[in-house]
């Protein structure tokens, strides 16, 4: 499903600035908003599952991609204006959706994905719990941005926006996760730490455009992982869920350790394993106490050995502890493509991570902002996969060859 054109179209979200008619204390970027929204959707959704409710994570994962594609295409129309068109001029809104589908028809080559996108845009069915969780995450992530910019804007600029945001939030206060966030309990404290990834800039040792935050990068990796999925393997929903959120949270340790760039990590043969061990220790000490008991083990599963294909073998009885086992891609497909094994395509997450880094370097070079760091980083990733076979079903060599002047000598 992933092509050069599709990847670069999604990457445009790193260049879309938000709140650009107000004073902003930092760059507020659309990709970062999409990332924080899905972090919040995960937290709010987990509280609902804890209450015994069912969340359609498959719908939400695809919705996060489709919502971003819609925002990329309509970024020049402010959200309040889009809402007025949808409510007051429904026929014109349908035409906008038709225009959107036509705009992406040459980019989204996969028929199944295109039809899912079409269904998403034309969905006028009753709001489900899953949709409400997704909308609540959207509203609260907007509120968080508003809270951060409110300190540097005069009150009269903000009063109407604040009133509308508060009106929107009220509709979702029956959700336990929203109650916890609004009243600034533990999930709020966890979110504040995660938001530090929004302020950390990747490739910080070199000039680059567009700049990308660690949090925005993580969401780009997540949707790239989704698009790298091998359609022939027919992933179970749990596998897709694990892949997406493993990618979204793969840089979670950097919230407390900051980014240690690859050349430094590889300064000695043993340093990568040492750094990983230290990261795991710090996460358990500083981040785990901020996580709820009903999702802490899952998040640790996502972030431990995050680039390895793995499964969980259930214990033989209730008293037996589970075992995490590294497995081959073939075994993931043949033996363990089932919810009970909680399969993860860690190598696919790693591939998506490196594709993201490759495109980050490529685009800056393309725009004329380059350096040895960017040229060497891009070339090293290309050389790593230059003669590779398919990785978890994806032909990475052919994909990278779609980019011209890959060596940038």
Residue 311 has pLDDT above 70, yes or no: yes
Over 60: is that where the pLDDT of 319 sits?
no
174 and 289 in a single domain? The answer is: no
CATH number, position 34: 1.10.3210.10
pLDDT tens-digit map of 249-306 = 999 988 877 665 565 555 566 677 777 778 778 888 889 999 999 999 999 999 988 9
**118 CB-near residues (< 8 Å, 6+ apart):** 101
CB distance 384 to 224 below 8 Å: no
Q: What integer pLDDT is reported at residue 407 of this predicted model?
A: 46
Is 193 part of a structural domain of the chain? no
Q: Please write the tens of the pLDDT for every residue from 218-230.
A: 999 999 999 999 8
Same domain flag for 267 and 325: yes
Any domain includes 169: yes
| pLDDT number for residue 408 | 46
Residue 350 pLDDT exceeds 80? yes
Residues 88 and 235 reside in one and the same domain: no
Q: Do the domain assignments include residue 81?
A: yes
Query: Residues 126, 129, 133, CA angle at the centre, nearest 5°?
Result: 115
Query: With 0-12 CB in 10 A as exposed, 13-18 as middle and 19+ as buried, what is 342?
Result: buried
154 & 279 share domain: no
**Residue 324 backbone dihedrals phi, psi, to 5 degrees:** -90, 125
Domain's final residue, options 172, 187, 202: 187
Residue 241 and residue 346 in contact, taking contact as beta carbons nearer than 8 Å: no
Looking at the fold, whether 126 and 222 belong to one and the same domain comes out as no
Residue 49 has pLDDT above 60, yes or no: yes
- Specify whether 178 is located in the same domain as 250: no
Q: Quick one: average pLDDT of 146-170?
A: 94
Give the whole-angstrom CA distance, residue 231 versus residue 87.
37
Look up residue 163 and give its two tokens.
């009133």
Shared domain for 106 and 236, answered yes or no, is no
Residue 249 and residue 150 share a domain: no
Residues 346 and 286 in one domain: yes
Residue 318, pLDDT above cutoff 80: no
Domain count, the chain: 2
Is residue 222 domain-shared with residue 337, that is, in the same domain? yes
Q: How far apart are CA 200 and CA 212, in angstroms?
A: 9
What CA–CA distance (Å, rounded) separates 5 from 150? 37
Q: Considering the domain boundaries, does residue 391 fall inside one?
A: yes
Question: What b/e string do you get for 23-42 counting C-beta neighbours within 10 Å, with b at 16 or more?
Answer: ebeeebbbbbbbbbbbbbbb
How does residue 243 score in pLDDT terms, banded at 50, 70 and 90?
A: very high
Please name the residues in contact with 126: beta carbons below 8 A apart, sequence gap of 6 or more: none
Proportion of the chain above pLDDT 70, given as a percent: 94
Identify the H or E element spanning 409.
none
Asked, for residue 409, whether it belongs to a domain, the answer is: no
Q: In 249-328, which ranges are continuous DSSP H helix?
A: 254-257, 262-265, 271-282, 293-303
Provide the CA 212 distance to its chain's centre, in angstroms: 13
For residue 328, CA distances in Å to 83, 143, 185, 307, 311 come to: 47, 43, 41, 12, 10
What is the average pLDDT score of the chain? 91
On the question of a cis peptide bond just before residue 371, with omega within 30 degrees of 0, the verdict is: no
In DSSP terms, which residues pair with 104 in a beta bridge? Answer: none
Based on the fold, state whether residues 240 and 379 are members of the same structural domain.
Answer: yes
- 176 plus 310 within the same structural domain: no
Q: Does some domain include residue 201?
A: no
Q: What is the pLDDT of residue 320?
A: 58
Per-residue b or e along 102-125, where b marks 16 or more CB atoms closer than 10 Å to that residue's CB: eebeeebebeebbebbbebbeeee
Whether 124 maps to a domain, the answer reads: yes
- Domain range for 173: 4-187
Looking at residue 277, its pLDDT comes to 79
Return the structure tokens found at 216.
Answer: 């925005």
């Amino acid at each position: 499903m992933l092509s050069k054109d599709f990847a670069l179209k999604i990457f445009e979200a790193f260049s879309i600035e938000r709140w650009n008619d107000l004073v902003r204390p930092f760059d507020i970027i659309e990709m970062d908003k999409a990332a924080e929204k899905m972090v919040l959707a995960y937290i709010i959704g987990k509280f609902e599952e804890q209450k015994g409710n069912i969340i359609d994570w498959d719908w939400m994962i695809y919705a996060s991609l489709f919502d971003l594609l819609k925002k990329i295409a309509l970024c020049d129309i402010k959200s309040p204006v889009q809402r007025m068109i949808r409510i007051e001029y429904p026929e014109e809104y349908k035409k906008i959706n038709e225009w959107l589908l036509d705009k992406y028809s040459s980019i989204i080559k996969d028929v199944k994905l295109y039809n899912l996108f079409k269904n998403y845009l034309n969905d006028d069915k009753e709001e489900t719990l899953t949709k409400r969780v997704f909308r609540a995450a959207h509203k609260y992530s907007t509120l968080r941005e508003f809270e951060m910019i409110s300190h540097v804007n005069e009150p009269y600029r903000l009063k109407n926006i604040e009133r509308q945001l508060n009106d929107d939030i009220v509709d979702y206060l029956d959700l336990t996760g929203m109650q916890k966030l609004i009243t600034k309990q533990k999930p709020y404290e966890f979110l504040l730490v995660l938001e530090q990834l929004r302020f950390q800039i990747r490739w910080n040792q070199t000039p680059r455009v567009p700049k990308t935050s660690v949090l925005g990068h993580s969401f780009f990796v997540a949707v790239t992982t989704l698009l790298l999925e091998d359609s022939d393997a027919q992933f179970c929903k749990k596998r897709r869920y694990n892949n997406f959120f493993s990618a979204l949270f793969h840089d979670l340790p950097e919230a407390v350790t900051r980014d240690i760039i690859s050349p430094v990590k590889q300064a000695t043969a043993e340093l990568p394993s040492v750094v990983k061990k230290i990261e795991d220790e710090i996460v358990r000490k500083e981040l785990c106490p901020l996580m709820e008991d009903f999702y802490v083990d899952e998040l640790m599963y996502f972030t431990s050995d995050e680039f390895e294909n793995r499964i969980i073998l259930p214990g033989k009885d209730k008293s037996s502890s589970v075992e995490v086992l590294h497995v081959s891609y073939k075994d993931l497909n043949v033996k363990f493509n089932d919810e009970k094994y909680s399969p993860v395509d860690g190598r696919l997450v790693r591939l998506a991570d490196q594709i993201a880094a490759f495109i980050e370097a490529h685009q800056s070079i393309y725009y004329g902002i380059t350096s040895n760091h960017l040229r060497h980083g891009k070339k090293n990733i290309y050389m790593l996969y230059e003669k590779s076979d398919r990785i978890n079903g994806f032909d990475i060599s052919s994909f990278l060859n779609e980019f011209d002047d890959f060596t940038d000598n």
